[in-house]
Amino acid sequence: MADQNVRNAGFTPSGITGGSLASSLMSREARASGGGVRSGGPTSTLQEMGAKGTTHSSGYTSSGISGGSRASNTMSKEATSHGGGVPRGGTTSTAQSIAMGGKGGRR
């Protein structure tokens, strides 16, 4: 289910779908970072998963983040860099929200 949620949001094997949640997220992220989408950010992480169909194997599941996974590693690094919490709109919260069928975090 998580892989389908990511594709439904517009992160597909053929790229980001115009007019989708994915294109909106990419636009917001690019504006916030001065024009580019950074590697390891929400857009690039979700697009990689959408292209490969690897949401579940990356650790973003409909039940939450799997321990010992790439997602838990990302969450740990993000929490450490933000003083112990995972920020709303960050890579972890956005990817997990969309994997669960949500609309992602807002910045």
Tens of pLDDT, residue by residue over 8-50, are 999 999 999 999 999 999 998 999 889 888 888 888 888 988 8
Find out whether 85 and 73 touch, Cβ atoms under 8 Å. no
Is 75 a domain residue?
Answer: yes
Residue 16 belongs to domain spanning: 1-100
Percent with pLDDT over 70 in the chain: 95
The yes-or-no verdict on residue 107 having pLDDT over 60 is no
Q: What is the mean pLDDT of the chain?
A: 87
| SS3 category, 20 | coil
Is 42 a domain residue?
Answer: yes
Percent with pLDDT over 90 in the chain: 31
pLDDT recorded at residue 1:
57
What's the predicted TM-score (pTM) here? 0.78
Is 53 a domain residue?
Answer: yes
**75 vs 49: CA distance, rounded Å:** 16
Is 70 a domain residue?
Answer: yes
Is 105 a domain residue?
Answer: no
Is 107 a domain residue?
Answer: no
Question: Cα 60 vs. chain centroid, distance in angstroms?
Answer: 9
Is 106 a domain residue?
Answer: no
> How many folded domains does the chain comprise?
1
Main-chain dihedrals φ then ψ at residue 78, nearest 5 degrees: -65, -45
Is 68 a domain residue?
Answer: yes
**104 vs 5: CA distance, rounded Å:** 11
**56 vs 91: CA distance, rounded Å:** 16
